[in-house]
Structure 1
Amino acid sequence: MNVLQFTDNGIYCPAGDFYIDPWKPVKRAVITHAHADHARWGNEYYLCENASVPLLRLRLGNDISVQGVAYGETIFFNGVKVSLHPAGHMIGSAQIRVEQNGEVWVASGDYKPEHDGLSAPFEPLRCHTFITESTFGLPIYRWAPQQQLFDNITQWIYENQQAGKASVLLAYSLGKAQRLLYHLKDKADHFLVHGAIAIPHDVLLQEGWPLPPVERITPETPKSAFKNAVIIAPPSAEDNAWMRRFHPYALGICSGWMQVRGNMRRRNADAGFALSDHADWPGLLEAVTATGAEQVYVTHGFSSVFARYLSEKGINAREVTTSYGDEEMITNPEN
């Protein structure tokens, strides 16, 4: 039974008449998380996890019709059972579990099995069919433990301060930036941030998330404020006039793509930290195995490689084409 179908508009449930993360406007959309490639403007109705509601309103406008549900809460669309479960990708991210006549499909969206301490930890779900991302679906991508990464970032900041330099960390504005701030909150007196980070950060602070206060950088911010400072900016701020005010500074890039050292050199960065909100190769395999799925569809990323590997391991896997991107992409990081 094809509980879900891949269509020109997105992942569609015919019996329930809803789409999951549609890339074209539809009547009813169930959203995995608030990143722009998964939550697009123009749908008549949105369903998401409760924590994603203010983020969707921020990204898409206060006038959207959006309903929030708790993790594990069950709702029905035309008799089809739907529930949202933690994906561990960012605050409010969810896997969508869809059950029709005893057949269970799970669309995972973006996910990571390692608990980041801020977003709800990934929940393995048993199912017949699993739809998985493959952003880092190559064996080379194996993340160091989170604590080790943040110890390295903290040491780098300390060395910069000893050298009289500001520390500029590039991280995606929604999700990654808050993860950085959460884990560094006891390592710095205060943080200066780009406006693209300050806006969603303020929304999350208002919602009660345990994040440190930040200072938004404006044209009026004095140059003296940048001395030895910790500055967090989106990747789109790299190599433009906005950065020049921070001299002297060291540049660190926080992205899974930094696992390949050549990427750091090509971007002329002083440091690269392979900090990702996506599953690495072992994480992808762990997640797929935990589902017990008889059938796996592999979407955005190294989909052909990962699908082929799963097939060689005896899993019925195939690649499917979607319009999802990757907020960590080097060439176009701010999608």
Structure 2
Amino acid sequence: MPTPLIQFTDRGLYCPPGKFHIDPWKPVDKAVITHAHSDHARPGSNSYLSHTYSKPLLELRLGPGIYETIGWNEPVWINGVKLSLHPAGHVIGSSQVRLEYEGEVWVFSGDYKTENDGISGAFEPVKCDVFITESTFGLPIYNWKPQEEIFRNIQDWIMQNHSQGKTSVLMAYSLGKAQRLLPCVEATGLPIFLHGAVYNVHQALVAAGHKLPAIQRVQQDMPKDIFKGNVVIAPGSADGTPWMKRFSPYSVGVCSGWMQVRGNLRRRNADAGFALSDHADWNGLLHTIKATEAKKVFVTHGFQSAFSRYLNEIGIEAAEVKTEYGQEETAEEVEEKREEG
């Protein structure tokens, strides 16, 4: 049996002929990074290769280091392995990793979504022999409404709060969801304030040349009235903390795919929930896998057991793989607290 082009090891995904890892969860010599979320990009490796857009985010989160970058569809050769990055549509800079060696092609999806959000790059399915896919929302219940419809719902909620003199506090990841929300909120014409962790990501992207709407950082000495009726974007880690008191009276809206299940809104004790996700839904996952024409599919984090079983039932050879990905919420909270500090 030939050696697999990607092996699943205790350090992460490893390409033996290329002698590099993809999104390793332990320090390695050379790490190829799909995107800058903390469960996929971890500190300590000797060098990193990512999409150009990810570099400022990796520098923000991992600190100084050796960062090589390439654009989408710009192949490089590493020890005879042809490597290229392709849009994943998850967050700014997020990429799928395509590997080609001795006539065989493997693709690791990283995290991805199939709807073009207008900011993260339009997802492109990549034909391959073996496809490694996430399955964060790999159950039929997860079926997203179009972004345009969700944005209208958010805007209506914001304007209703505004008419009642309430501050609208939107809970969203500091990297990805927060930037995606900015054009939606900007359309209301109301001032936008950012939590420190969100602001730091915002500034890193602006400094790198990304055009994002005008915002203000929430400052300790700001008068309370400045927030009244306006909009604050903050990470979930800020909810329920003393930091929130300055916005009273306020209404909390959680932006997450988990809001598709009504009970999760009650558990979060929020006023509104918007099922806005940066991951593919059930249909997006299935359409993508079929579009790759892969002969074999490995399913990683999420509902990998149920999803891989379904793929086998419909005639697509699949197996589940245990990884340390998928702890996005916990990892992001750690980063958000560090970035705010």
TM-score of the two chains, using structure 2 as the length reference: 0.95
Partner of 1:131: 132
Letter in 1 for 2:333: E
Structure 2, unmatched stretches of 5+, are: 335-341
Instruction: Please give the alpha-carbon distance, in whole angstroms, between the structure 2 residues aligned to 1:109 and 1:208.
Output: 25
Partner of 1:224: 225
Partner of 1:58: 60
Letter in 2 for 1:114: E
Shift of residue 313, structure 1, vs aligned partner:
0.6
CA spacing shift, 1:332–1:208, aligned 2, 3 Å: closer
**Conserved? CA contact 2:37–2:332, under 8 Å:** no
Instruction: Please give the alpha-carbon distance, in whole angstroms, between the structure 2 residues aligned to 1:34 and 1:40.
Output: 9
Shift of residue 182, structure 1, vs aligned partner:
2.6
Paired residue secondary structure (1:245): helix
Partner of 1:44: 46
Task: Confirm or deny that 1:304 pairs with 2:287.
Answer: no
Partner of 2:109: 108
**Conserved? CA contact 1:52–1:92, under 8 Å:** yes
Shift of residue 196, structure 1, vs aligned partner:
0.4
**Conserved? CA contact 1:130–1:293, under 8 Å:** yes
Partner of 1:140: 141
Instruction: Please give the alpha-carbon distance, in whole angstroms, between the structure 2 residues aligned to 1:282 and 1:334.
Output: 29
Letter in 2 for 1:76: W
**Conserved? CA contact 1:298–1:319, under 8 Å:** yes
Q: Aligned runs of 1:99-248 on 2, under 5 Å? A: 99-248=100-249
**1:226-252 Cα distance to aligned partner (Å, 9 max, x none):** 110100000000111111111111110
Shift of residue 333, structure 1, vs aligned partner:
5.7
Task: Report the aligned-residue RMSD.
Answer: 1.1
Partner of 1:21: 23
Paired residue secondary structure (1:3): coil
1:32 to 14, 31, 34: 34
Shift of residue 190, structure 1, vs aligned partner:
1.9
CA spacing shift, 1:11–1:310, aligned 2, 3 Å: same
Partner of 2:337: none
Shift of residue 332, structure 1, vs aligned partner:
7.1
Which deviates more, 181-190 or 126-135?
181-190
Runs of 4+ in 1 over 6 A off after TM superposition: none
Task: Confirm or deny that 1:334 pairs with 2:333.
Answer: yes
Whichever structure has more helix as a proportion of its residues is: 2
CA spacing shift, 1:333–1:37, aligned 2, 3 Å: closer
Letter in 2 for 1:262: G
**Conserved? CA contact 2:155–2:184, under 8 Å:** no
Instruction: Please give the alpha-carbon distance, in whole angstroms, between the structure 2 residues aligned to 1:78 and 1:333.
Output: 34
Instruction: Please give the alpha-carbon distance, in whole angstroms, between the structure 2 residues aligned to 1:255 and 1:299.
Output: 20
Shift of residue 315, structure 1, vs aligned partner:
0.8
**Conserved? CA contact 1:185–1:211, under 8 Å:** no
Partner of 2:289: 288
Letter in 1 for 2:48: Y
Partner of 2:99: 98
Instruction: Please give the alpha-carbon distance, in whole angstroms, between the structure 2 residues aligned to 1:37 and 1:280.
Output: 20
Task: Confirm or deny that 1:267 pairs with 2:271.
Answer: no
**1:120-168 Cα distance to aligned partner (Å, 9 max, x none):** 1101100000000000011100000000000000000010011111100
Paired residue secondary structure (1:156): helix
Letter in 2 for 1:34: A
Letter in 2 for 1:5: Q
What is the identity percentage for the equivalent residue pairs of Structure 1 and Structure 2? 58
Partner of 2:12: 10
Paired residue secondary structure (2:333): coil
